[in-house]
Amino acid sequence: MHQDTDVVVIGAGFSGLYALHTLRDRMGLDVVACEAAPDVGGTWYWNRYPGARCDIESIHYSYSFDEQLQQEWTWSERYAAQPEILAYLNHVADRYDLRRGYRFGTRVTSMVWDDDTDRWTVGTDTGDAITARFVISGGGNVSIPKQPEFSGLETFAGPVYATHAWPHEDPDLAGKRVGVIGTGASGIQAIPKIAERCGHLTVFQRTPNFATPLRNRPADPDEVAAVKKDYPEVRAASRNSFLGVPYPAPAPSALEASPEERRRRYDEQWDNGGFGIMLATFGDLLFDKDANDTIAEYTRERIRERVTDPAVAELLCPDDHAFGTKRLPMETEYYETYNRDDVELVPVKRNPIEEVTATGVRLADGTSYELDVLVLATGFDAFTGALTRMGIVGRGGVSLNDVWAAGPVSYLGLMTHGFPNLFTITGPGAAVALYNNPLAIEDHVELATRAIGYMIENGHRTMEPEDAAQAAWREELNARAHATLFPQTDSWYMGANIPGKPKVVMMYVGAAAEYRASCAEVVDDGWRGFAFEHAKASV
Ligand code: NAP
């Protein structure tokens, strides 16, 4: 089926839903939205593994664009679980009648720019071809799973479940011997819940992570009322805070504080739970290795207190990266799980998983583990995975995959030279990952849709970044990141979790407010760094 439209929106997660609402309902444009899943939710549609919940407080991890919406929705817990977040996104879809804009079960598989017509032709796995003047991708940053590094998965006799695509009907694990591979944020949330349900759990851990307490609890009605009373002010404070959450300001330096003061601050935030441990304690933790060592050692001490077997505790203590330089997972009873008789921790760094067999997992030294069920929590092809699988071909027949072969390039994380009128919401090079996602997404959707509005008003046919602006943005990303400890760690922030993927700075490492200020300057300066071509025809 062929259709011509003003804008194609990809995805029905936080990004796609808000983009569709803005373009269609506020700007009056004709929009076709495509979503691979059968319904809305994005990440929160797919990641329905036991224990899945957000780890930024729900009153902050939600849309801010409509005061009525934020007043009428009430979260039941401090950090909502996946079903409640999915219910929220369903509520948003219903409230703004967004479903009628979607083709569900429709994955974008090609996107080709036509220099003669100045339009994209978007192809899908259902055989649709949609021509559009603009495309907004909300395909997500951690949405495409990483391919397994070991062979034999297809030979395993039992079921293999992946955290990113957990079955809708929760599998019965009672009495089963379950193996979990992966101890990132997903594994760390799922492992305690799986241990409670199965007969025996084997956790295959390659790199131990620093994980700190989440401390979820029912939402406090007084706190909720206080936030709702001043929601716009709370959101403004969020947008001016490093992570997009208004945590208390940190003291400047862990090294200047006395050991007692350090301990007091770490204890306070450890007990409070959430990202305050990294952001509300000391301002130099992510910049100075000696400062970072103080929180790293504090965390290791707390792990040792909670794990009964000292040898197991040591296996769980990270020693190869700085605290917070891999995305900090938040945990609930994670460390205590290893005190159970029916849970075994198997280190696989020096003795890696070589093969999955019909009956379980075999390590390089030949040791085998017999399993009935295998769970993969092995992570994502982050930042670029969704876009490089869309078959994007820009000006002159050049593919995005070729342009990004040595690592992604973009301007503001929003657009890439040679791919006009294609907007990548929280794309590589944007403030994301270190910025509360719903707010990061709102900012970016607003930037993209404002750009589209500007083009229409001014009769511009195409818009794309200038090469020089893109190169300068790359320098800015590198300079910011290299002032911190992040590049010293192999993580998905750096593309380093995928063998062969170029290791580059994938995101804006800085405060949300600084990124927002950079974008505002660009806009105020007449979209500095973007090139426009004038239109013969307008939308
Ligand atoms: P991840 O952080 O990349 O963790 C993947 C895990 O799998 C790591 O422990 C990794 O070990 C391991 N692994 C990968 N390949 C392996 C192999 N061949 N053998 C053994 N182990 C292997 O992925 P994730 O846990 O899915 O989290 C990804 C991101 O999603 C998070 O960082 C976060 O941004 C988001 N997330 C958020 C929430 C939340 O909001 N609450 C929850 C879950 C996920 P190595 O470290 O050695 O590579």
Tens of pLDDT along 329-353?
Answer: 999 999 999 999 999 999 999 999 9
What is the whole-number distance in angstroms between the Cα of residue 379 and the centre of ligand 1? 4
Q: Residue 393 Cα, ligand 1 centroid: separation in angstroms?
A: 30
Torsion angle defined by CA atoms of residues 394, 399, 402 and 407, in that order, rounded to the nearest 10 degrees = 60
Q: Whose CA is nearest to atom 6 of ligand 1?
A: 182
Residue type, 224: V
Query: 95 to each of 15, 224, 261, 446, how far by Cα in Å?
Result: 16, 22, 48, 20
Mutate to test the pocket of ligand 1, among 147, 378, 506 (most ligand atoms within 8 A of CB): 378
Mean pLDDT value across residues 41-70: 98
At 536 the pLDDT is 54
Is residue 219 within 8 Å of residue 81, measured between CB atoms? no
How many alpha carbons fall within 13 Å on the CB side of residue 430? Answer: 28
Task: List the single range of 151-165, 260-274, 311-325, 522-536 with lowest mean pLDDT.
Answer: 522-536
Q: What is the position in ligand 1's atom list of the atom closest to the CA of 163? A: 26
pLDDT for residue 16: 98
pLDDT in the model for residue 471: 97
Residue pair 82/52 in contact by the 8 Å Cβ criterion: yes
Q: How far is the CA of 336 from the centre of ligand 1 (A)?
A: 20
Q: How much is the mean pLDDT over the chain?
A: 97
pLDDT tens-place string over residues 369-386: 999 999 999 999 999 999
Of all protein residues, whose CA lies closest to atom 32 belonging to ligand 1? 327
> What is the number of other CB atoms lying within 10 angstroms of the CB of residue 41?
24
Q: Is pLDDT above 50 for 394?
A: yes
- 186 vs 329: CA distance, rounded Å: 8
Q: Separation of 480 CA from ligand 1 center, angstroms? A: 24
Domains for the chain: give ranges and CATH numbers.
2-144+382-531 (3.50.50.60), 146-202+332-379 (3.50.50.60), 247-328 (no CATH)
Task: Please report the sign of the dihedral spanned by the C-alpha atoms of residue 487, residue 488, residue 493, residue 499.
Answer: positive
pLDDT > 90: percent of the chain: 98
* pLDDT band for position 537 (cuts 50, 70, 90): very low
* Each residue's pLDDT tens digit, 404-461: 999 999 999 999 999 999 999 999 999 999 999 999 999 999 999 999 999 999 999 9
pLDDT at 535: 59
Helix (H, G, I), strand (E, B) or coil at 163: helix
pLDDT computed for residue 497 by the predictor: 97
pLDDT digit string (tens) for 208-260? 999 999 999 999 999 999 999 999 999 999 999 999 999 999 999 999 999 99
Decide whether any atom of ligand 1 lies within 6 Å of the 206 Cβ.
Answer: yes
Residue 280 has pLDDT above 50, yes or no: yes
Contact 479, 518 (CB under 8 A): no
Contact yes or no for 180/191 (Cβ under 8 A): yes
Q: Please name the residue that has the structure tokens 């965390």.
A: 299
Beta bridge partners of 355: 151, 362
The per-residue pLDDT for range 465-499, each reduced to its tens digit, is: 999 999 999 999 999 999 999 999 999 999 999 99
Q: If you average pLDDT over residues 119-142, what whole number do you get?
A: 97
**Ligand 1: which of 206, 330, 507 to mutate, most ligand atoms within 8 Å of CB?**
206
Atom of ligand 1 minimally distant from the CA of 379: 23
User: How many angstroms separate the alpha carbon of residue 111 from the centre of ligand 1?
Assistant: 30
The count of C-alpha atoms lying within 13 angstroms of the C-alpha of 150, restricted to the half-sphere facing its C-beta, is: 23
Distance 433 CA to ligand 1 centre (A): 14
Residue 538 has pLDDT above 60, yes or no: no
Residue among 327, 436, 491 to mutate when testing ligand 1 (max atoms within 8 A of CB): 327
Rounded distance, CA 349 to CA 355, Å?
14
- Give 261 Cα–ligand 1 centroid separation in angstroms: 33
Residues 6+ apart with CB under 8 A from 502: 405, 406, 407, 495
Nearest CA to ligand 1 atom 4: 184
Could you tell me the maximum CA-CA distance found in the chain, to the nearest angstrom? 73
How far is it, in rounded angstroms, from Cα 19 to Cα 25? 10
Residue 2 pLDDT: 87
User: How confident is residue 1, by pLDDT bands cut at 50, 70 and 90?
Assistant: confident
Distance 453 CA to ligand 1 centre (A): 38
pLDDT tens per residue, range 153-188: 999 999 999 999 999 999 999 999 999 999 999 999
Closest CA to 433 of 377, 497, 390: 497
What's the CA-to-centroid distance between 380 and ligand 1, angstroms?
7
Angle at 457 between CA 454 and CA 458, to 5 degrees: 85
Whether the full predicted model's pTM is greater than 0.75, yes or no, is: yes
377 lines ligand 1 (CB under 6 A): yes
